[in-house]
Structure 1
Amino acid sequence: MLNALNPLSKLAVCAIWLAASVLIFDAWFQIAAILLVWLVLIVFQRTSPLVLLALMVPFCLFGLGFLTTSVLFRQESDFAVQVASETPFGSRAFSAGVNLFLRAIACGMISTFFALTTDPGAFVRALMAYAKLPPRIGYSLFAVMQLVPDLAAEAQQMRFARAMKSGRAPRRIPGPFEAVSLVIPLLAFGIRRAGRTAIAMEARGLATGTPRTLTNVPKFSVRDAAFVAIALAILGSLTVATGR
């Protein structure tokens, strides 16, 4: 259901929600935003809660930095202290840190919503069709999308070749020395692919600036209007509720 929406509709909604999470310095608003996006991804996208927890680990570590800085070093801003003094989380320093911690997770959850519900290829095509993204940049992004899995496959082949040569089964997760030894070969593989991609793009006339035909461009529909209206209505309700 969410995958069928136009990527630009989801981008606009996520941008508005991110701006609200940054500007509204209220812990209850951040908690409500986190739980709401969490439930939407689990119910409508069928995303595993464990996957969401794993994706939130970097944002939790980032928010933990705000929390420890606020509590241990007392480096919170005046605005954060002023707002934190009105919230029931204990001391002003701890309350300000909790607000910053929750804001980092809320922003991460909203970003995760867009990433999990949007096809990268459809997003690039929508940008090229509606936002006038230059074809050279668009097709470069398509090339990168193909390069990333190819790099992983190339690294796996190198590991299998080395395991066959040494007569030992490859480890499931490469060790630090093995990972470092793969950097130079993968860098050479990436440089060769980049050169071939540049030649292919120039051969297709991407440097001339002539208009091009796009296929499989995501269309706007009634579902996009309903999604934007519901998302903005929920955001307005949360803003009013937390403001009170």
Structure 2
Amino acid sequence: MPRGAPVADNNAPLARRNPVAKLAAALLFSLTLIATIDPVAPAVAIAIELAVLPLFGVRYRTLARRAWPLLASALGIVVTLVLFAAERTGTVLLTVGPVAVTTGVLADALGLALRVIAVALPGVMVFATTDPTDLADALIQNAKASPRFAIGALAAFRLLPLLSVEWQMLSMARRARGVDAGRNPLARLRIFASTAFALLVGAIRRGTRLATAMDARGFDAGTPRTLARQQRFTAADAALVAGAVALAALALTVSIVLGTFRPLIS
């Protein structure tokens, strides 16, 4: 299976932290942002995430190259809400045919799009700097997760890179058989849907075979398991979690001070 360049430097200060600590910090930082729907809090959160990105050993160029689907989804959210918003409150900024772009609609669209990015980036940083085996061991040792769940998650995580390889193989096989959309957008959409369905079927089949093989090898025996890698949760790991909570509170505080805070449940 082809491998690309490393996504992150695993010797970076925050990249060396316990996987459970990094996962907990990402979850706490992300979940706090769900409390508001204004665009200021997620914008501050994104600025914080980009500021600490070098501490995780991830380069900005690498993040931009790999996070383009996230940016595309955020842009899609903005366009969809601007076009199909049910309520158009605030001042009208632009009118294009039957579509009126108002300040209220634009604030809601930007708030949702920025929140999607702010919630997703911590997960990108965590999984880019965490070895799957270390994560599984830390879940069992530090989070007291079930070995069946942790090892199953490890197996699934290991198989994720195969999806992109299989997508390329399916696409090349279809082109070799003369199945090409050319410049027809509808044909492209049809080929994309059929390729995605074929990829899904293949993933289900592989997952079923893997689960059967793991059960046959005693991964669900219920007997105490040994772990090759010791994962310790230190004071620095606790500081990382506390720092994530403090920074999330800072983002909400800035929103409240500026008067833009809009609670999700009012």
Normalization by structure 1: what TM-score? 0.71
1:147-186 alignment, distance < 5 Å: 147=159, 174=172, 176-178=174-176
- 1:143, CA displacement in angstroms? 3.7
CA–CA distance in 1 between the matches of 2:165 and 2:123? 27
User: Alignment partner for residue 136 of structure 1, among 142, 148, 167?
Assistant: 148
Gaps of 5+ in 2: 1-12, 92-100, 180-193, 258-266
- 1:190, CA displacement in angstroms? 9.3
Gaps of 5+ in 1: 160-172
Distance 1:90 1:236, change over 3 A: same
Describe the superposition over 1:16-63 as per-residue Cα deviations: whole angstroms up to 9, x where unpaired: 11112222222121111112111211x213322122123332222222
Preserved CA contact (<8 Å) 1:143 1:197:
no
Distance 1:91 1:191, change over 3 A: closer
Residue 19 of structure 2: aligned partner: 7
Preserved CA contact (<8 Å) 1:30 1:103:
yes
User: Alignment partner for residue 249 of structure 2, among 201, 219, 236?
Assistant: 236
Structure 2 residue 138 is the aligned partner of structure 1 residue 126: yes
Residue 56 of structure 1: aligned partner: 67
Preserved CA contact (<8 Å) 1:125 1:218:
yes
Residue 74 of structure 1: aligned partner: 85
Q: How many residues align?
A: 219
CA–CA distance in 1 between the matches of 2:71 and 2:47? 15
Residue 91 of structure 1: aligned partner: 103
- 1:201, CA displacement in angstroms? 4.6
CA–CA distance in 1 between the matches of 2:38 and 2:204? 45
Residue 20 of structure 1: aligned partner: 32
More helix by share: 1
Preserved CA contact (<8 Å) 2:37 2:111:
yes
- 1:111, CA displacement in angstroms? 1.9
Preserved CA contact (<8 Å) 2:19 2:134:
yes
CA–CA distance in 1 between the matches of 2:137 and 2:24? 16
CA–CA distance in 1 between the matches of 2:66 and 2:15? 19
Preserved CA contact (<8 Å) 1:76 1:96:
no
CA–CA distance in 2 between the matches of 1:137 and 1:216? 18
Residue 168 of structure 1: aligned partner: none
Normalization by structure 2: what TM-score? 0.66
- 1:214, CA displacement in angstroms? 1.6
Distance 1:228 1:154, change over 3 A: closer
CA–CA distance in 1 between the matches of 2:81 and 2:164? 40
Preserved CA contact (<8 Å) 1:11 1:114:
yes
Preserved CA contact (<8 Å) 2:37 2:108:
no
Residue 185 of structure 2: aligned partner: none
Percent same amino acid among aligned pairs? 27
Describe the superposition over 1:215-243 as per-residue Cα deviations: whole angstroms up to 9, x where unpaired: 21321011112212222222222222221
CA–CA distance in 2 between the matches of 1:137 and 1:198? 15
User: Alignment partner for residue 45 of structure 1, among 48, 52, 56?
Assistant: 56
CA–CA distance in 2 between the matches of 1:2 and 1:44? 6
By relative contact order (CA 8 Å, sep 6+), the higher-ranking structure is 2
Preserved CA contact (<8 Å) 2:26 2:244:
no
The AA in structure 2 aligned to 1:94 is L
Residue 48 of structure 2: aligned partner: 36
